[in-house]
Structure 1
Amino acid sequence: MKFKEYPDREMLVMDVAQQIVTDLNMALVGPDRVSIAVPGGTTPAPIFDVLCAADLDWARVDVLLTDERWVPADHARSNAGLLYRHLLMDRAADAHFVPYYVEGMKAKEGAAQTSGLIEQHVPLDVVVLGMGADMHTASLFPGALGLSDAMAADAPHLCAVQAEGQEPRVTLSAAVLNSAVQKHLVIFGDDKRAALDAAMDAQPEDAPISAVVQGATVHWAA
């Protein structure tokens, strides 16, 4: 794990966006399509605002979410909706987005249907991760219903999970996240840095981030 500390969040945003561009361009040297999985939430949105204008062969880029709330894209809490507002625009509008939500299905049913479609994108070329102060990443929440299945080595590519007090979610399994060629973890604040330090000495079920951060570059600003 490589740790990069930045003097401010603005510099972190610019550097991470440029590193993602570099990673994707390296992958695009090959003849095939490339894949990137990204989180939702407010932390990565400024990165997406920069990344969407990057000069890339976006038509060969497949964009996936690390996780999604089981709500339609026009819902205020949809991660897909956030991508449409911040990433899948400008030059990046040419990218191919892989949605997870299936109208009329419950999260477990939809995850089972979509999991097979993710096969062609694995291993991911690039994954961008976030982390909560509870040491969760993607929708791998400590204590969540379905966490053990999603953390298993033979887990489906996409898994349904249910954290207490939250809407149903689907998440890429720990195995899929961990197998990415390039991994970037973006965290802000002293509380997140302390949580990451604590996670390194915890069991993966208690600190899911510890199961996927090996070999990653951690980008941190106060």
Structure 2
Amino acid sequence: MPSTSSVNPPHVEILPNKAALIERSLTVVLSVINDAIAERDRCTLALAGGSTPKPLYEALAQQDLPWQKLYIFWGDERYVPIDHPDSNAGMAKAAWLDQVAIPLGQIFPMPTQAKDPETAAHQYEQTLRAVFPEATETVPQLDLILLGMGDDGHTASLFPHTEALNVRDRLITVGNKDGQPRITFTVPLINRARSVLFLTAGANKQQALSQVFAAEADSEMYPSRLIQPEGELWWLLDSEAGAALNL
């Protein structure tokens, strides 16, 4: 079993291919959305960037959901304008959010127009606090955080051997990728979630996954090991990514 053990045992599934991975992830996401709305009359989600979740977003755009009850955040963002090809928010808006009737006031892209990334991180933390006023002195609890994992073991913009890995007194901080700033959720915010779902595809992920799932390994080198949520932890892998695991 993976070292990233949450309060409950993690759900680890290896799917035959990427299409099956997306189909299964859609089922999980819809279940979380429906359960959250039934229990709390809203669902708060943080989206991931990268190429893997794009077909999931396209599939979600085809669903019939109570869109007015969804609140959308992002787990990390490159420090680029939303219309830039590398923008996580821009990708999700084009693939999903612009196609459905989620109120604009309930979609919260990370700010990338601030004078500096630190200011942007502070602004986004204030945004989260406003949506979760009951968590004034605590860490807000999102219903679902979607994550990917890079072939270096990073997740969100928590990169190996960077200062962001050790931030415990903030919800949002500045990540660093080869000298380029990113805005990112911190480990405590991710680990507070009711559900965390990793979508991982490709043979290039095998080496990092073997370390993330190892009984002992360096979390500074493989930051995905730090993700140990209070709620459910899902790892959905395609067969290429999961080939090296002995589950």
The TM-score normalised by the length of structure 2 is: 0.81
- Decide whether the 8 Å contact of 1:54 with 1:91 is kept in 2: no
Deviations 1:32-74 (A, max 9, x none): 4320111111111011100122221111111111100111101
Structure 1 residues 211 and 62 mapped into 2: Cα distance closer, same or farther (>3 Å)? same
Gaps of 5+ in 2: 1-9, 133-139, 241-247
Secondary structure of 1:191's counterpart equals helix
Which letter does structure 2 place at the counterpart of 1:99? P
Other-structure match for 1:108: 118
Superposed, 1:100-139 pairs within 5 Å as: 100-119=110-129, 120-121=131-132, 122-139=140-157
Alignment partners' CA distance in 1, 2:77 and 2:67: 22
* Residues in 2 aligned to 1:102 and 1:163: alpha-carbon distance in whole angstroms: 16
Q: After the TM superposition, which of the residue ranges 172-181 and 84-93 deviates more from structure 2?
A: 84-93
The correspondence of residues 185-204 of structure 1 with structure 2, limited to 5 A, is: 185-200=198-213, 201-204=216-219
Aligned-partner Cα distance in 1 for 2:40–2:149 = 33
Gaps of 5+ in 1: none
Q: 1:134 to 1:92 in 2, by over 3 A?
A: farther
SS at match of 1:135: coil
Aligned CA distance change for structure 1 residues 28 and 198 (closer, same or farther; 3 Å): same
Q: Say yes or no: does 1:217 pair with 2:234.
A: yes
Deviations 1:161-182, CA, capped at 9 Å, x for gaps = 22224x2111011111111111
Tell whether the 8 Å contact from 2:45 to 2:145 is kept in structure 1 after alignment.
yes
- TM (norm. structure 1) is 0.90
CA distance in 2 between counterparts of 1:44 and 1:187 reads 9
Note the alpha carbon deviations across 1:141-163, whole angstroms, 9 max, x for none.
Answer: 012344322xx2xx311111222
Alignment of 1:173 with 2:183, yes or no, is no
Specify the alignment match of 1:98 in structure 2. Answer: 108
Identity in percent: 28
CA contact (8 A) 1:144 1:164 kept: no
Q: Secondary structure at the match of 1:128?
A: strand
CA RMSD of aligned residues (A): 1.8
Extract structure 1 runs of 4+ deviating beyond 6 A.
none
Structure 1 residue 28, shift from structure 2 partner: 0.2
Q: Structure 1 residue 99: deviation in Å?
A: 1.6
Mapped partners of 1:63, 1:12: distance in 2: 22
Residues 113 and 90 of structure 1, relative CA distance in 2, 3 Å threshold: closer
Check 1:104–1:216 CA distance in 2 against 1; reply closer, same or farther (3 A cut).
closer
Matched ranges for 1:15-26 at <5 A? 15-26=24-35
- Partners of 2:159 and 2:27 lie apart in 1 by 29
Tell me: higher relative CO, structure 1 or 2? Use CA pairs within 8 A at least 6 residues apart.
Answer: 2
